[in-house]
Amino acid sequence: MFSFSANGKKCCPMIVYPYERIPEKIAQSVPAEWGIARSDRGWMTCEIFCEYIAKIFHPFLVSQGVIFPVVVFFDGHKSHLAYQLSVLCNKLKIEVIALSPNATRILQPTDVAVFCPVKMYWRKAVRDWHAKHPGEVLNKVTFAPLLREVIDFTAKPDTLVKVFQECGLYPLNANAVDYTKCLVKNTTRPTNEKIGRQDPSTIQHNEDASMDYTTSVNIVGKEKVEKFRRMNDIICQENNEEFFTLFRLWEYFQENRNHTMILSDESRISMGNDAVQSMSSASSKVSCVMKAVQTEGMKEFLVWPDTPKCKGKRQMERQLCHNIKKIPRSV
């Protein structure tokens, strides 16, 4: 259990062990100022969190001369949302605020810039420890001292101050949050191109998506377009549902290069009766096209398979067999 402040200070953490009774050797290995607790599975519980606030966090604030009330941000784990915790924090003049669900990767400072380097340097510290202690096992007795070295090395005061600013918590600034982490990654973007932050107030939302000839060629691919141009030569050789579906789409834009199809309109384009009968074996490119154009304007590019019709109930004759002698199975 870690706590960090916006001025770069680190509160003493608490370690939760999965024991009925914590062994003396393990308890003595934990730094004296750190908290130590136990639970059945080593997970945080409401009782342990209340104990941490009362015995570790609040005394730390008093020792630092912090002026109350103070604000504490945490995730929405069930151990943090309990009536007894609310009563305790109200008594200690601590205002608790749970961050939005599924948003800790952009709002919680520990997730944004603390835990990642901690995990990275923890792996390095474990390798170095094994190199210095060949044949020994890193156990719970040696865990806490090694963890202290990692925390002291990674959680720098300057880093903590900057990450609170980047998360928009202190100073409070909604535009400082990196909202690009909420967007789906664009696989067509070059790997060396960096995505800059954008003010959410400047983002324009288009209700109608569109597609033109250039866009359709980029989706279909230049190789398939070349095959389309040689359609008369290979029409007797191809037996691919995906290929003919993409060909119909390309053929339309080839004849209407200056036309931009509004994918949310009610237009219907006739393709003839020889269109594709099924899309079950379409490739990922066709799937991307279909996901992008789930509208009325594209329906007639495809001919969906007919719904199977019931041919009627099977007429089964039931025969009653009586006095059938069991034939022994041959060995």
Q: What integer pLDDT is reported at residue 241 of this predicted model?
A: 60
Q: How many domains is the chain built from?
A: 2
Does 176 lie in the same domain as 30?
A: yes
pLDDT at 122: 95
The answer to whether residue 294 sits within a structural domain is yes
Q: What angle do CA 122, 123, 128 make, to 5 degrees?
A: 95
List the domain range (segments joined by +) for residue 293: 210-301
Residue 171 placed within a domain? yes
DSSP string, 131-191: HHSTT----HHHHHHHHHHHHHHH--HHHHHHHHHHTTBTTB-GGGS-GGGGSPP-TTS-T
Check whether residue 30 and residue 161 sit in a common domain: yes
pLDDT score at 287: 44
Is there a contact between 108 and 75 (Cβ–Cβ < 8 Å)? yes
Q: Is 50 a domain residue?
A: yes
Tens-place pLDDT, residues 65-111: 999 999 999 988 888 888 999 999 999 999 999 998 888 889 999 99
- Which of 141, 164, 181 is the last residue before a domain boundary? 181
For residue 250, what pLDDT is reported? 73
Q: Are residues 127 and 217 in the same domain?
A: no
Q: pLDDT tens, 119-169?
A: 999 999 999 999 999 999 999 999 999 999 999 999 999 999 999 999 999
Tell me which residue of 23, 6, 14, 1 sits closest to 172, measured CA to CA: 6
Does 202 have pLDDT greater than 70?
no
pLDDT, position 39: 93
**Residue 9: pLDDT over 60:** yes
In a domain, 49, yes or no: yes
Is it the case that residue 326 has pLDDT exceeding 80? no
Do 282 and 162 lie in a common domain?
no
Over residues 263-287, the pLDDT tens digits come to 544 333 333 333 333 333 333 444 4
- Between CA 304 and CA 316, with CA 310 as vertex, the angle to 5 degrees is 155
Mean pLDDT of 29-37: 94
Whether the Cβ atoms of residue 43 and residue 16 lie closer than 8 Å to each other: yes
195 Cβ partners below 8 Å, 6+ apart?
180, 189
Between CA 51 and CA 162 the distance in angstroms is 29
Residues 65, 148 share a domain = yes
Cβ contact 1:60 at 8 Å: no
pLDDT at 32: 92
Element (H, E) at 16: strand 14-17
Is 322 a member of any domain?
no
Whether residue 262 is contained in a domain is answered as yes
Over residues 304-318, mean pLDDT: 54
Quote the tokens at residue 16: 């939760």
Q: In which band, very low, low, confident or very high, does the pLDDT at 112 lie, cut at 50, 70 and 90?
A: very high
Residue 331 lies in a domain: no
pLDDT band at 207, cuts 50/70/90?
Answer: very low
The answer to whether 216 and 235 are in contact (CB under 8 A) is no
**What local confidence, expressed as pLDDT, does residue 215 receive?**
74
Pull the structure tokens for residue 162. Answer: 């900057």
- pLDDT above 90: residue 252: no
Q: What confidence score (pLDDT) does residue 89 get?
A: 95
Task: List all residues 6 or more positions away from 310 whose beta carbon is below 8 Å from its beta carbon.
Answer: none
Three-class secondary structure of residue 253 per DSSP:
helix
Statement to judge: residues 32 and 150 lie in one domain: yes
Query: Do 70 and 171 lie in a common domain?
Result: yes
Token readout for 178 is 């990196």
Between CA 249 and CA 269 the distance in angstroms is 10
CATH of the domain at 99: 3.30.420
Whether residues 81 and 165 fall in one domain: yes
**Do residue 91 and residue 52 come from a single domain?**
yes
**246 is a domain residue:** yes
User: Same domain, yes or no, for 78 and 35?
Assistant: yes
Q: What is the mean pLDDT of residues 299-308?
A: 54
Considering the domain architecture, whether residues 70 and 167 belong to the same structural domain is answered as yes
Shared domain for 293 and 175, answered yes or no, is no
CA 276-279-283 angle, 5° bins: 115
